[in-house]
Amino acid sequence: MSYAIRNTLILLVTLFLILGLGFSYSKFFLESKVEDLENSLVAKRNDLASKEDINIQFTELNERYQAALEVISNYDKILFSSNKPDDVFDFLNRVNAEGGNQMYYDYIYTDSIPSSEYGIIESSIAGFGRYDALTDFVNRIEHSQLLNKVSNLTISPARQDDDLHTVNFSFELESYYEKTNLFDSLGRNFSINLDEEISNYNPLFPLIQPTVQANVNGLTDIRGSRLIGMTDNRVFVRDQTGRIISLKQGDRVYLGSLVSIDLQNKKATFNLDVGGIEEVVTLEVVR
């Protein structure tokens, strides 16, 4: 075999080896890698399309979310954020502080009852205070933003109270709490509200009292005074201590006030509240 033919065969064999190796590399390695890259590209395109959809919807969804937050934050009622009785006790203390800390009470945690969507903290409250402060206290509990329900309220006069305004009381309290906090951004802010149209008239206060209030301010006691002079808009009386006092219509006296001056008939009329009994006292100028 000539040298030229041998070199040609060697070149052909080398060429076939290079082609075979190239084909094998392309067939068995590059094709699988290309397939993996194509699959990865499809996944990334799908993910990009999903994110583009979310981006398109974000503005609308964010506006709806902010509107929902505003509705919830301004809603008449919200729930406690947990089933901790400490939260209820803190709420009662804040209500009492809003009313001037006029109520004195014991707080007793009874039970926590869960349900599918919310739970109820059951408590008992008992104490004493002025009747008008108690109505204010219960009023704020029921009308404030946190949802509470008062039941089994009992009230009785406090025997130790000389002015008859203090009462003993007890009631059951149900405080509603949420099991899932959907709106964390609302935090713990809530409003304490009072319905000012609710009367705080005390039905336990006696209309007729066994004693009358003492004259601690030293006011003129008309029942022990004498009318000594008058003008068309003022009267002059010598009071129970001998002092000469000048009074005009509407001025306070012990247990009442001056309601009218009759210059023509030389009379002055006073309305008094004597232990719940209304009295009209008329004084005349003594000549």
Q: What is the pLDDT of residues 78-112, one digit of tens each?
A: 888 888 899 999 999 999 998 887 889 999 998 88
pLDDT at 157 (0 to 100): 85
Alpha carbon 267 to chain centroid, angstroms: 55
pLDDT at 279 (0 to 100): 85
Quote the CA–CA distance of 65 and 138 in Å, as a whole number. 35
Q: What does pLDDT average to over the chain?
A: 81
- How many C-alpha atoms does 169 have within 13 Å on its Cβ side? 27
Can you tell me the mean pLDDT for 29-36? 68
CATH assignment, 85-186: 3.30.70.60
Please give the single-letter amino acid code of residue 57: Q
| 82 phi and psi angles, rounded to 5 deg | -155, 175
Pairing of strands 226-230, 235-238: antiparallel
Is residue 131 predicted with pLDDT exceeding 80? yes
Tokens 């009071």, located at residue: 239
pLDDT band with cut points at 50, 70 and 90 for residue 139: very high
Segment 174-208, tens digit of pLDDT: 999 987 665 544 445 678 888 888 877 777 766 65
CA dihedral (247, 251, 257, 260) positive or negative: positive
Q: At what angle do helices 131-143 and 85-98 cross, to 10 degrees?
A: 130
pLDDT at 23 (0 to 100): 59
Domain locations in the chain as residue ranges: 1-74, 85-186, 222-284
pLDDT band with cut points at 50, 70 and 90 for residue 75: low
Judge contact between 124 and 88, C-beta under 8 A. no
Is residue 162 predicted with pLDDT exceeding 50? yes
pLDDT band with cut points at 50, 70 and 90 for residue 21: low
Is residue 218 predicted with pLDDT exceeding 60? yes
